[in-house]
A and B are shown apart, each in its own frame.
Chain A
Amino acid sequence: MDQYIRALEKEHMREDIPELRPGDTVRVYVRVREGNKERTQTFEGFIIRIRGSGTGRSFTVRRVGAAGVGVERVFPFSCPSLEKVQVLRRGKVRRAKLYYLRDVKGKVKIKERRS
């Protein structure tokens, strides 16, 4: 992409987000505003997708919630309301997009990746 667009994006890029890969289990801390109060919410799950580039780059975290309902949330890497991302476990996967995990019945098992 254009070097000037990159330059403009640069100031919105965040350096503090750790390197993430599909298959990683993460805990995401997001600031949410309720009325005038601000508090931090966490969302824990594994990454099934990383897409885009520049300020539009985002990752999708999937979690199986109550009653076995799958919940997916998309977080832009450059999002200002993203407080921090904690990597709980590095996963070893052989695909860039883990959409097939949506159809897995029962518990999803991802092998651990050793660096």
Chain B
Amino acid sequence: MKGIIGRKLGMTRIYQDGRAFGVTVIKAGPCTVVQKKSAEEGEYDALQLGFEELTKERARKVLSKPIYQRFEHAKLKPHRVLREIKVSNVTDYKVGDVIDVGIFADGEIVDVTSISKGKGFSGVMKRWNFRGGEATRGSKFHREMGSMGAGTDPAKIFKGKKMPGRYGGVRMTVQNLKVIRVDAENGLIAINGPVPGARGSLVVVKSSRRP
């Protein structure tokens, strides 16, 4: 496992071997290793990465005191974002090491985690892909959910019934996306297909769990 923190920039089209790919462009890294955890120390193998360096003055305003002081103790520059990424080879890294997009290569398969766009209180058609009814031809049934269950028996609505409600705005992972291009110079990764989140939202790109 390996991973990097970045921000989603937007989507575009890229050509490769005469084929067009719709890609999401992510500005990833540089990330600093802030803390190491290992199984030997009774925890698990993971790295804590910092992303988006801040000046000290800025960091005092943006970060809470306990988090700010972690950077002080580690003798590192403060970063806006801290995320933990599980890795198998903790010993290869030192606190203070910088990770950039170079850890990924063209053609690699990755998982991308981010907070999806919030859709607010959504109806059942958007949220659960119900089919709804006819729009016209005298139909009075448009976007409703229809029957919610049987009648006198069981005389209740089952738990977990798909109903309208808050949709989106949750952390989700899209698995097995292909890296089309890595631009080390600008720190960019272009990943085939869409990725959760709005432009500018924080994303974590990891090597695929189940390739």
Q: Which residues of A contact B (CB under 8 A)?
A: 1-2, 4-5, 7-9, 12, 54-56, 76, 78-81
* A7:B10 contact, CB within 8 angstroms: no
A56 touches B13 (CB 8 A): yes
Q: Do B12 and A55 touch (CB < 8 A)?
A: yes
Residue B183 CB within 8 A of the other chain: yes
Q: List 14 A-B contacts (CB under 8 A).
A: A2-B9, A2-B199, A4-B25, A5-B10, A5-B25, A7-B186, A8-B25, A8-B181, A8-B183, A12-B14, A76-B20, A79-B15, A79-B20, A80-B18
Instruction: Name B's A-contacting residues (CB within 8 A).
Output: 9-10, 12-15, 18, 20, 25, 27, 181, 183, 186, 188, 190, 199
Q: How far is the CB of A58 from chain B (nearest CB, A)?
A: 10
| Given A2-B25, A4-B188; A9-B12 close (CB under 8 Å) | yes
> Given B9, B15, B186, which contacts A55 in the complex, CB threshold below 8 Å?
B15
Min CB–CB distance B115 → chain A (angstroms): 20
Q: Which residue of B is nearest A1, CB measured?
A: B10
What are the residues of chain B within 8 A of A54 when measuring CB–CB? Answer: 12-13
Q: How far is the CB of B29 from chain A (nearest CB, A)?
A: 13
CB atoms of A56 and B12 under 8 A apart: yes
Across the interface, do B27 and A4 meet the contact criterion of CB distance under 8 Å?
yes
Residue of A nearest to B11 (CB): A5
